[in-house]
Amino acid sequence: MNQKRLSIALAGNPNSGKTTIFNNMTGTRQKVGNWPGVTVEKKEGHVKKFGYDLKIIDLPGTYSLTPFTIEEIIARDFVLEERPDVVIDIIDASNLERSLYLATQFREIDCKVLFALNMADVARSRGFKIDDKKLSELLDVPVVFTIGNKNQGIDTLLEKAIELAESSYEIPKKRRVKYSKDIENSISSLKSFLDNWTEESIPYNTRWTAIKLLEDDKIVKKRVLSKAGENSRKILQEVQIHRDFLVDRFDDDPEIVMTDERYGFIAGIIKEVLTASAKQRIDISRNIDLVLTNRFVGFPIFVFFIWAMFQLTFSLGAYPMEWIGMGVNLVSKSLAHVLPNNLFKDFLLDGVIAGVGSVVIFLPNILILFFCIAIFEDTGYMSRAAFLMDKIMHLIGLHGKSFIPMLMGFGCNVPAIMASRTLESEKDRKLTILITPFMSCSAKLPVYIVLAGAFFGARAGTVIFGIYLAGIILSIVTGRLFRSTLLRGADAPFVMELPPYRAPMIKSLLIHMWDRSKIFLKKMGGIILIGSVVVWILSAFPQNISYSLDYNSAISEIKASYNAKIETAHESEKKLVAKKRDDTVAELIKAKKAEKAEKSFMGSIGKVLAPVFAPIGIDWRGSIALLTGFVAKEIVVSTMGVLYAADETEDSAALQNALLSSGMTPLGALAMMAFVLLYMPCLATVAAIRRETGSFKWMIFSVVYSTLLAWGVAFCIYQGGKILVT
């Protein structure tokens, strides 16, 4: 039997408990993606209930349907264009007056709408009594009480929604939302004008269209004109006449007057349906805020929370990271035993498994980080963090919420860039994403340690600190530069609600965490895999290198000669000779590896690029190391190890000695550190940038900009330093 399908859209203010209700309705059967063309999360879920197949769409939380923000445009367009069977407007019952602003706008669109008075328990405990029957009668809308976090009233809500969807829609006889006489006159005159003049009927109800035209709504205007054809000019004229009249009459823009009147209308409803019995009781949330945003302890507590999040993400995350690393190694090793030695095996082990491994290894970090962020968001602390940090971030031209992604950048840029999702404004988000890579991530630290340790000895710590500081300064400079050029415009106005603190629900935290981590695995895994395979091909081919020395036969010769020596040697010297043999063989294997790297495509590219790197004091070996660093910055050190033919031991002293004797100068080392700090982010980060900006162009821009900046800064250091020294 085919079940009947219905689509239900959930709308409501941010912090109205919409997501909780969505989670309760759909459980884990959710599909999370992005709305087309933008990076606003789109959530969808399917439920089979009461004999229906219900598709539930979680619209972005908005305060209004005025198309100022992407969220509002998405929510409104969805209701207008996709025409869901029912819209459920979730209203925070303890915040009725402001919530009704959005509700009255849904009422005006003439879609089938249903009100859920959520957090009914909170409202009751605050002494608010809401007359649902009266509210339902006044606005001609079914009203249901719900308590989202206790899963109460949700079934009734769905039942009512189905009932409403199945009822035949009647155009309300009486207009429920009324404006003052002059405005109503303009609306009805414009409405009949539209009814008469447009050849093709306007896709939306004409009263609503008239209202939007009077409000000078750019999007509606464009759509009406595209339908109106020749009559466009006449419609525009007519609208202008009415707008001019109203401006003259009220001495203010009609949209402002109408906003005011909507609230006036709401005030009338509130008077009839809401009775506040008890006086304001002790407000726990306000008391918490007395501490958390306190003038003196607010910042220290904030720093502590961030520190704790950092610790959890990177210290606690290090254990599972290690296990995953060991697991990948184990798989790789056991496959190495099983498979015959051929090109496919190399491809599988060094390309595919190494590539997948480099993605999966971030998973613990990502999971923990998103769990922490979900706690911040669900409790309401995130908006307090923005409240505290806004002044500082505003100086760079950013919103208070940009602070968290930037800080996370010191750990790993991948989760940091994903954390920029919490920013509402697209421009703010892009700017944050562009400057976050300058926060020196933990994978770059080994490179600094090796270089600074080798060339600056006791002053290494100061030098490394300086590098970190340079990253911060350049991110500020970049932020200001882009804010006044590419991403021009003020940062989003700080009209931000500080919602009451709420205890987070584990279920919702876990869903939040998993949804976002899934995006990381799915979408970025592919790009990183391809990238790793490409880098593998570049470093593994050409296969038939003509070595300057026949290493294999040289190795077997040496083995043979030493083995012969061992035979004749004295019992006590046997071990010593054996060690000597192994050392010599290892030396040869290393030389072979270095030569293989040098003669691979990667090596050729490195040599071709050498002239580019020469002015910044980096030789061809350094440039190959930097190239391989594109996969992951950790690799820079290991590639240098191979190329400078140092021992592959854990301790970096050998590499440092090799570097010192390679002709690199302290100035060159400093230039290289600066280059590593700034140049294009690693593959995983680039994939994250592509994903989170939703555009290939911004990804390329970020790569090009950072690399050019890196070269420029390194050039200044190397050449400027040379002038200063001599």
Partner 1 sequence: MLLSEMKENQTARIVHIGGNGALRRRILEMGILKGSEIYVEKYAPLKDPIELIIKGYHLSLRVEEAAQITVDNVK
Question: Which lies closer to partner 1 via its Cβ, residue 388 or residue 640?
Answer: 388
**Pair of tokens at residue 606:** 């490195």
Q: Which of 668, 555, 567, 680 is nearest to 621 (CA)?
A: 668
Residues with Cβ < 8 Å from 635, sequence gap 6 or more?
Answer: 625, 628, 629
Cβ–Cβ under 8 Å, residues 475 and 406: yes
Q: Which is nearer to partner 1, 270 or 537 (CB)?
A: 270
Task: CB nearer to partner 1: give 56 or 389.
Answer: 389
Which of 704, 71, 694 is CA-nearest to residue 430? 694
Q: Which is nearer to partner 1, 307 or 465 (CB)?
A: 307
What does the binding site for partner 1 look like in residue numbers (CB under 8 A)? Answer: 63-64, 66, 68, 94-95, 97-98, 101, 253, 255-256, 259-260, 263, 286, 289, 293-296, 298-299, 383, 387-388, 390-392, 394, 493-500
Residue of 86, 96, 80, 153 whose CA lies nearest to 130: 96
Closest distance of CB 268 from partner 1, Å: 14
Measure the CA–CA gap between 365 and 363, rounded to whole angstroms.
5
Task: Give the residue with the Cβ less far from partner 1, 256 or 549.
Answer: 256
- In the complex, the smallest distance separating the C-beta of residue 199 from partner 1, rounded to whole angstroms, is 32
Q: How far is the CB of 189 from partner 1 (least distance, A)?
A: 24
Residue 720 to residue 699: CA distance in whole angstroms: 31
Distance from CA of residue 315 to its chain's centroid? Answer: 22
Count CA atoms closer than 13 A to 339's CA, side-chain side. Answer: 15
Identify the CA nearest to 413 among candidates 432, 386, 397, 394.
Answer: 432
Which residue, 243 or 691, has its beta carbon nearer to partner 1?
A: 243
Name the minimum Å distance from CB 86 to partner 1. Answer: 25
The b-or-e profile of 673-690 (16+ CB within 10 A means b, else e) is bbbbbbbbbbbbbbbbbb
33, containing H or E segment: strand 30-34
Report the C-alpha gap between 273 and 128 in whole angstroms. Answer: 10
Q: State in angstroms the smallest separation of the CB of 417 from partner 1.
A: 26
Q: Which residues, 6+ apart, have CB-to-CB distance to 718 below 8 Å?
A: 615, 616, 617, 667, 668, 670, 671
Q: How far is the CB of 16 from partner 1 (least distance, A)?
A: 11
Nearer to partner 1, 267 or 708 (CB): 267
- Tokens for 252, please give them: 């203010």
Question: In angstroms, rounded to a whole number, what is the distance separating the alpha carbons of residues 153 and 145?
Answer: 6
DSSP 174-207: S-SS---HHHHHHHHHHHHHHHHH-SSPPSS-HH
CB nearer to partner 1: pick between 98 and 134: 98
Q: How far is the CB of 145 from partner 1 (least distance, A)?
A: 19
In whole angstroms, give the CA distance from residue 674 to residue 471: 9
Of 253 and 634, the one with the shorter C-beta distance to partner 1 is 253
Nearest approach in angstroms of CB 433 to partner 1 is: 23
Q: How far is the CB of 495 from partner 1 (least distance, A)?
A: 5
In the complex, minimum distance from the CB of residue 687 to partner 1, in angstroms, rounded to a whole number: 34
Closest by CA to 622, choosing from 595, 600, 644, 652, is 644
Report the C-alpha gap between 527 and 539 in whole angstroms.
19
Q: Which is nearer to partner 1, 193 or 387 (CB)?
A: 387
Q: How far apart are CA 659 and CA 618, in angstroms?
A: 11
Closest approach, Cβ 401 to partner 1, in A, equals: 12
Query: Does residue 60 contact residue 87 with C-beta atoms inside 8 Å?
Result: no
Q: How far is the CB of 454 from partner 1 (least distance, A)?
A: 42
Secondary structure (3-state) at 216:
coil
In this structure, the number of other CB atoms found within 10 A of the CB of residue 474 comes to 20
Q: Cα separations (Å) of 507 from 375, 382, 566, 590? A: 11, 19, 67, 53
Closest CB to partner 1 among 259 and 662? 259
Q: Which is nearer to partner 1, 322 or 497 (CB)?
A: 497
Q: Which is nearer to partner 1, 26 or 95 (CB)?
A: 95
Q: Which two tokens stand for residue 350?
A: 């060094």
CA distance 698 to 417: 13
* Cβ nearer to partner 1, comparing 43 with 427: 427
CB of 498 to partner 1, least distance (A): 4
Q: In angstroms, what is the minimal distance from the CB of 154 to partner 1?
A: 24
